[in-house]
Amino acid sequence: MVDVKTKLQEVFQLQKQQQHVVKMTSAEERIEKLQKLKVEIIAQAPSIMEALQQDLGKPAFEAASSEMLSVISEIDYFTANLKQWMEPHVVPARNEGAQTKIISEPKGQCLIYSAWNFPFMLLFLPLVPAIGAGNVCILKPSELAPATSAISAKIITKVFDESEVAILEGGVDVATLLLEQPFNHIFFTGSTHVGREIMQAAGKHLASVTLELGGKCPVIIDENVDLEKIVPRILSGKYTNAGQVCLAPDHVYVKEEQSQEFVRLVGEYIQRSYFENGELVKSDFSKIVNERNLNRLEGLLQDAVAKGATVHVGGEIEDGRMYPTVLTDVSVDAQIMEEEIFGPILPVLTYTSLDDVIDQVNARPKPLALYIFSEDQNMADLVLAKTSSGGAAVNDVIRHMLEPNLPFGGVNESGIGSYTGIFGFKEFSHERGVLYQAPVGTNPLETFAHAPYKGKLEMLMQRIK
């Protein structure tokens, strides 16, 4: 039996040779590959939903909407636009008689790491632009979602020849072996800590990287909004996948005089959305991925309570799930305010001055997303102007990721690079600038830059003035 290291090196060399063939494929040929992928995803839909249920207890609706539909929508968008994106882009030329174009060419050999929280979507969503841009790829699914990893491998093996797209399952040892190879581009979704390691490894081969990380995505609520209307928007984003979403609202800032009403409405929403006869409807609420992460969340909750926080809703743990939880009176030095929560705990913080909130947001690393709820456009624009984040949404959460004409990605500690739609095509492409010079002798100034230089300096300085 071939060991993983040998298999990896064999596939890497196969793809190294095949990348030049794949580079020459037409838009129609690339679209055909994407369509085959779409057909197989649809055919395997029941198995995909079952795998996500096994790995994360993910509700079938969430599996279909956030995992599969996201990928299929991206394929459809590429199918409609890829030919146009692949066309060389003519730009004005400064050189008289010359023509200049920007040609998009594939980066070459790509490595894609998926994360465990959306183990299907985060493996296949970046694969779509990688294929569309004409690359060859090796995929590394998350070992923390083994059932989804297995069905993903089945799909990839059926749709693609491994000389173009291959998948290698396994744990940290496989991930480390992959980083030793001189890929041209590495796409990673995961924690900031591991993102730093990826970037360091990529630096050895001067590979470009896309890092989709995370951070503490804040929600700022202005006093002029209807709390009853906005609570469902905030909480549906917070508790999807039990809060194990990089874009999930991490904590909420609400005006001090509105905090009690907000917490009351939050409690009512949780009861009617996730409970029936006082019992959590487990089929509608995901599990925490493993015991280690469940213990981490329990530790964050206990630390917050020990430092003065009040649990208004939830806090219970049962069958691998933490109930939807709401905290108030959270101390600024609580651990839960220092690290990304990545779970179903929502700290509700109060404020009197918007400037104080902006200062607190800016005191932390730049988040992947910032959410503002306000009917005052000036207020929203002010917050956007005074803060920085990978993306932002006004009067909603998370949905900016679903807009194909917007780049999705982080900034600094929340990530590098962006994708979805044309931004994914660009992320997996090298924009190659090409000059088509006019024939020799057609430009009288052509020889001006040639030696000898006698008498030319004065003329050059006249042009500089």
* Within-domain flag for 411: no
Look up the CATH number of the domain holding residue 204: 3.40.605.10
DSSP secondary structure, 131-149, as one string: HHTT-EEEEE--TTSHHHH
* Within-domain flag for 465: no
pLDDT score for 31? 98
* Within-domain flag for 458: no
Q: State the pLDDT confidence band at 458, using cuts at 50, 70 and 90.
A: confident
Q: What is the DSSP letter of 283?
A: G
Q: State the pLDDT confidence band at 447, using cuts at 50, 70 and 90.
A: confident
* Within-domain flag for 37: yes
* Within-domain flag for 272: yes
CA separation, residue 196 to residues 225, 284, 412, 414 (Å): 39, 35, 11, 11
- DSSP H or E segment with residue 265: helix 259-274
- pLDDT tens profile 388-445: 999 999 999 999 999 999 999 999 999 999 999 999 999 999 999 999 998 887 777 7
Q: Are residues 198 and 308 in the same domain?
A: no
pLDDT score for 2? 65
Q: Are residues 323 and 280 in the same domain?
A: yes
- pLDDT tens profile 328-356: 999 999 999 999 999 999 999 999 999 99
User: How many residues does the structure list for the chain?
Assistant: 465
Nearest CA to 116 out of 78, 139, 149 is that of 149
Tokens of 253: 């800032």
Told to judge if 246 belongs to the known catalytic residues of this protein, a careful annotator would answer yes
- Total number of domains constituting the chain: 2
Q: Are residues 346 and 200 in the same domain?
A: no
Cα angle for residues 376, 377, 383 (degrees, 5° grid): 95
- Provide, rounded to the nearest whole percent, the portion of the chain with pLDDT above 90: 91
Nearest CA to 321 out of 294, 283, 284 is that of 294
pLDDT score for 225? 96
Range of the domain at 355: 218-406
Q: Are residues 20 and 136 in the same domain?
A: yes
Q: Are residues 189 and 228 in the same domain?
A: no
13-29 average pLDDT score: 98
Give per-residue burial for 367-393: e unless 16+ CB within 10 Å, then b: bbbbbbbbeeeebbebbeeebebbbbb
Q: How far apart are CA 197 and CA 31, in angstroms?
A: 34
Confidence check: pLDDT of 66 > 90:
yes
128-147 average pLDDT score: 98
Q: Are 400 and 409 in contact (CB under 8 A)?
A: no
Q: State the pLDDT confidence band at 304, using cuts at 50, 70 and 90.
A: very high
Tokens of 363: 């005191």
pLDDT score for 462? 85
* Within-domain flag for 449: no
Please state the separation of Cα 20 from the chain's center in Å: 28
Q: Are residues 260 and 315 in the same domain?
A: yes
* Within-domain flag for 457: no
pLDDT score for 460? 85
Residues in contact with 143: Cβ distance below 8 Å, sequence separation at least 6, in sequence order: 149, 169, 170, 171, 172
Catalytic residue among 246, 340, 413, 427: 246
Q: Are 288 and 242 in contact (CB under 8 A)?
A: yes
Q: Are 259 and 294 in contact (CB under 8 A)?
A: no
Told to judge if 212 belongs to the known catalytic residues of this protein, a careful annotator would answer yes
Q: Are 111 and 178 in contact (CB under 8 A)?
A: yes
- pLDDT tens profile 69-89: 999 999 999 999 999 999 999
Q: Are residues 78 and 108 in the same domain?
A: yes
Nearest CA to 284 out of 59, 51, 53, 54 is that of 59
Q: Are residues 168 and 38 in the same domain?
A: yes
pLDDT score for 464? 83
Q: Are residues 38 and 106 in the same domain?
A: yes
- Provide, rounded to the nearest whole percent, the portion of the chain with pLDDT above 70: 100
Q: Are residues 207 and 271 in the same domain?
A: no
* Amino acid found at 36: K
Q: Say if residue 59 is preceded by a cis peptide, omega within 30 of 0.
A: no
Q: At what angle do helices 146-159 and 45-56 cross, to 10 degrees?
A: 150
Residues in contact with 214: Cβ distance below 8 Å, sequence separation at least 6, in sequence order: 191, 192, 246, 340, 342, 368, 410, 414, 415
Q: Are residues 99 and 50 in the same domain?
A: yes
Instruction: Determine the 3-state secondary structure of 182 from DSSP.
Output: coil
Catalytic residue among 62, 162, 164, 212: 212
Q: How far apart are CA 73 and CA 79, in angstroms?
A: 10
Please state the separation of Cα 145 from the chain's center in Å: 18
- pLDDT tens profile 161-210: 999 999 999 999 999 999 999 999 999 999 999 999 999 999 999 999 99
Confidence check: pLDDT of 51 > 90:
yes
Q: Are 354 and 328 in contact (CB under 8 A)?
A: no
Confidence check: pLDDT of 298 > 60:
yes
238-246 average pLDDT score: 97
pLDDT score for 1? 46
* Within-domain flag for 246: yes
Look up the CATH number of the domain holding residue 345: 3.40.309.10
Tokens of 418: 């962006």
Q: Are residues 104 and 235 in the same domain?
A: no
Backbone angles phi, psi at 36, to 5 degrees: -60, -40
Confidence check: pLDDT of 111 > 90:
yes
Confidence check: pLDDT of 369 > 90:
yes
32-47 average pLDDT score: 98
- pLDDT tens profile 155-166: 999 999 999 999
The residues pairing with 210 across neighbouring beta strands, listed in sequence order, are 187
Query: What mean pLDDT value characterizes the chain?
Result: 95
